[in-house]
Structure 1
């Protein structure tokens, strides 16, 4: 077979982004994806507008633009922030990823699982050189070594009535270490999901059904029900390797407070491509990144909440729009002191001893 410079195992956001960035730098890459289509892992499918600074979204991959954010505690609205521009997009991951490889010299092998055992990688084309392998297999990589894996569950419902099809909603509950979400997928289509570190799937199912009923979504048609584990433990630079390399959720590229994984995964792939081009140490690059600093602080906050076994302290709180905006920024990894101290003043018990 014709030798490639790099072989990428996994065709999700991290793997395809790695192929995209390396191909742009002149490297010959080949992707092996176990499924028949790219990016089929169940997830919220939401990305902040900052994604366009990494790889611009193609219009046809956007299911819905989001202009506002609402926060609920025990099903009561406690804060809302609206803008006149999109702050968040709900996307079709498959269309997005397919668009990235369409016009580049990237070989994508679908329905082509790679057998992995003790850093030995066997593809349908033969054994792969581990020094040329980029692992982008997600949470399954070193799964037993992860200490903060949450479970998620979500429904997609069609033909529903949305009170505002351009708002996303986040719902927190007293006994839930995690949150539920409502993402618009169009004018009459919605995704309702939940993620938790401390509750069973049975609890999550019951809570989702209550949310669906309360929002009158039960009159719609259930299009799909799906779920997947997600690593909330933060970025693990030492897992990055220097052959095989590791990117995306496989090294914990998920924001611990929000579960956002697409953009962080793409960031790790960008850092890898930069390190390879410069001949620099990838692990050191990860450790010096803003992404690592952000996930490290978010993990500390999540650990504090997890230890107490209760949700973020929102009892009796009313959030002004500016505070909701800054909570959004914090969730996306914006760690400037102005943001941190503003939120700390509003939620002092959450930040006590952390900053």
Structure 2
């Protein structure tokens, strides 16, 4: 088949890689030749893609704060999260795929199939504007930090990305200038540090009305409470490849194959909207309730906040698997 993929992020590049290795003719349409979108570069340690990524750091410890107050911290025996070299992983897959660097969409008459993998950039749903910084500091520890604010809907993050280096970021729905908030936060929290890189990007926090031949974040596959989109995007690319291989219609095939994940994203969207409508005092109560419960924290860190996922976390804790 001749396949056009609009957008060469996680989903588009992985799908293109799988298709090309199966002797399909693939062209990626993107505004840039190389991938540079910033994020936390974190994946829960429960998934491995068919094209392996380099793991830069393993995270076992987590701390949760609200308005500067430490509410809960937890450590796990095995790595709960993996920090990956996302840019190298994606650009490595894109190297052997034909590109057209353009803003213009492909002409559908020239292709057997056109897949939309443009992330949030159709801008047809609610997004949060985030800023991510990479910094070096001598005051390094191995704990991933989430700090929530009762004033805004969102959080700051401090993730160890490699020894002596942090991935620090901010994103709040009510405040678009996340760069300003992040710089103030780092200056107040991080002590002396060296800024290596800083850049921003929108992240989806709700589903688009139109799914069509969309995959990854273009389909809304981002967990709204954590911002995690790498794993769901990669899974959607794998399932889309299977749909093409089996000559199935992509959207309905995905509806069936990733329905648990999409259900959990929907539940998180409901919780996010409830939090956004709540008064600051009630937001604090909501966050403290979540953060003081081992089972809910485990479900949050692996984006499985539903009855099935919470039950799974509870069973693992009882069996000593966490």
- TM-score over 0.5 (shorter chain): yes
- Cα deviation, 1:320-354, whole Å, max 9, x if unaligned, reads 5444223323xx235344617999xxxxxxxxxxx
Out of 36, 57, 63, the residue aligned to residue 64 of structure 1 is: 57
TM-score, normalization: structure 2? 0.85
In structure 2, distance between residues paired with 1:155 and 1:340: 36
Deviation at 1:89, TM superposition (A): 1.7
Deviation at 1:169, TM superposition (A): 1.0
> Is 1:230 matched up with 2:219?
no
SS of 2:206's equivalent in the other structure is: coil
1:168 matched to which residue of 2? Answer: 144
SS of 1:286's equivalent in the other structure is: helix
In structure 2, distance between residues paired with 1:67 and 1:56: 24
Deviation at 1:317, TM superposition (A): 7.5
Alignment check: 8 A CA contact 1:10 1:136 kept: yes
In structure 1, distance between residues paired with 2:92 and 2:170: 29
Out of 217, 222, 227, the residue aligned to residue 254 of structure 1 is: 222
Alignment check: 8 A CA contact 1:294 1:335 kept: yes
Deviation at 1:43, TM superposition (A): 1.6
Out of 288, 293, 301, the residue aligned to residue 263 of structure 2 is: 293
TM-score, normalization: structure 1? 0.77
Residues 334 and 300 of structure 1, relative CA distance in 2, 3 Å threshold: closer
Alignment check: 8 A CA contact 1:40 1:93 kept: no
> Is 1:30 matched up with 2:27?
yes
Deviation at 1:135, TM superposition (A): 1.8
> Is 1:152 matched up with 2:130?
yes
SS of 2:162's equivalent in the other structure is: coil
Residues 28 and 157 of structure 1, relative CA distance in 2, 3 Å threshold: same
Residues 303 and 160 of structure 1, relative CA distance in 2, 3 Å threshold: same
In structure 2, distance between residues paired with 1:333 and 1:178: 19
Out of 113, 135, 150, the residue aligned to residue 102 of structure 2 is: 113
> Is 1:20 matched up with 2:17?
yes
In structure 2, distance between residues paired with 1:137 and 1:98: 16
Structure 1: unaligned runs, 5 residues or longer? 344-355
SS of 1:63's equivalent in the other structure is: strand
- Cα deviation, 1:166-210, whole Å, max 9, x if unaligned, reads x21111111111111111121111121111111241xx4454234
> Is 1:134 matched up with 2:115?
yes
In structure 2, distance between residues paired with 1:239 and 1:139: 13
In structure 1, distance between residues paired with 2:293 and 2:270: 25
2:246 matched to which residue of 1? Answer: 278
Alignment check: 8 A CA contact 1:255 1:333 kept: no
1:95 matched to which residue of 2? Answer: 88
Structure 2: unaligned runs, 5 residues or longer? 315-322
- RMSD across aligned C-alpha pairs, in angstroms? 2.7
Out of 274, 291, 298, the residue aligned to residue 304 of structure 1 is: 274
Tell me the number of residue pairs that the alignment of Structure 1 and Structure 2 aligns.
Answer: 309
In structure 1, distance between residues paired with 2:39 and 2:70: 25
In structure 2, distance between residues paired with 1:206 and 1:340: 40
Residues 188 and 98 of structure 1, relative CA distance in 2, 3 Å threshold: same
SS of 1:29's equivalent in the other structure is: strand
Deviation at 1:255, TM superposition (A): 0.8
SS of 1:138's equivalent in the other structure is: coil
In structure 1, distance between residues paired with 2:291 and 2:57: 28
Deviation at 1:81, TM superposition (A): 2.1
